[in-house]
Amino acid sequence: MQHYMEDADIKKLRKVLTYKGRQDLADLLRHSVSFLDESSTFGSRSYSRLSKFHIKSHPSIQKKLDNLLEKDKDVIFQALLLVYPPRDSEPEITEIIYYPDFDIDVAELVETKELDRISFEYIHEQIKKCNSKIAEKGL
C-alpha cells in the first residue's frame, strides 16, 4: 500500500536536520517529495507495519544524495525516526529509498539563499519604517 505524502514529511525531516545542526542535509532535501510505502508485514511493535520511506529528488540533487557518506545517510534516517518514531499500530520505517524525480522542473530549483536570510523581524522593521514615512508625509 502506498501513501503519497505532501511535502509535510520532508518539511518535518528538514526541521529535525536543521535542529541537529545539519543544515547541509536539510538543504539537499529542499525540493524533494516523499511517500511512505507500508507493507502488510508486521514489524517489531504491536501491529506496526514494516515500511519504506521514498525520497524523490531532482536528478542533479540525486547525484549529491548518492554520493553522501553512509554516516550522513544514517543522520537522515535517524532524523526520520524522530518524525516517525516506532510505535504500536504505526509504520515502522526500515529504510529510505532515494531516487531521481524527472518531473521536477529545473526552474523550481532557483536558489533563494538571500531570501532565506531575511528574517520575519527584519520584514516587520521595514514595514514600520514605511508606515512612519507615510505618516510623516501625510500620504
Residue with cell 514605511: 130
Share of the chain above pLDDT 70, in %: 81
Domain ranges for the chain: 2-109
What is the pTM (predicted TM-score) of this model?
Answer: 0.71
- Whether 34 contacts 76, CB under 8 Å: no
Q: Does residue 111 have a pLDDT over 80?
A: no
| Among the listed residues 86, 16, 4, the one whose alpha carbon sits nearest the alpha carbon of residue 53 | 4
Whole-number pLDDT of residue 115: 54
- Whether 44 contacts 74, CB under 8 Å: no
Q: How far apart are CA 85 and CA 93, in angstroms?
A: 9
Q: How far apart are CA 73 and CA 132, in angstroms?
A: 50
113-122 contacts, C-beta under 8 A, 24 or more apart: none
Q: How far apart are CA 56 and CA 28, in angstroms?
A: 11
Q: How far apart are CA 17 and CA 76, in angstroms?
A: 7
Reported confidence tier of residue 3, pLDDT bands at 50, 70, 90: very low
The answer to whether the Cα torsion of 57, 17, 26, 75 is positive or negative is: negative
Q: How far apart are CA 94 and CA 110, in angstroms?
A: 33
Question: pLDDT, tens digit, for every residue of 48-95?
Answer: 899 999 999 999 999 999 999 999 999 999 999 999 998 899 899 999
Q: How far apart are CA 21 and CA 47, in angstroms?
A: 34
- Whether 30 contacts 14, CB under 8 Å: yes
Reported confidence tier of residue 2, pLDDT bands at 50, 70, 90: very low
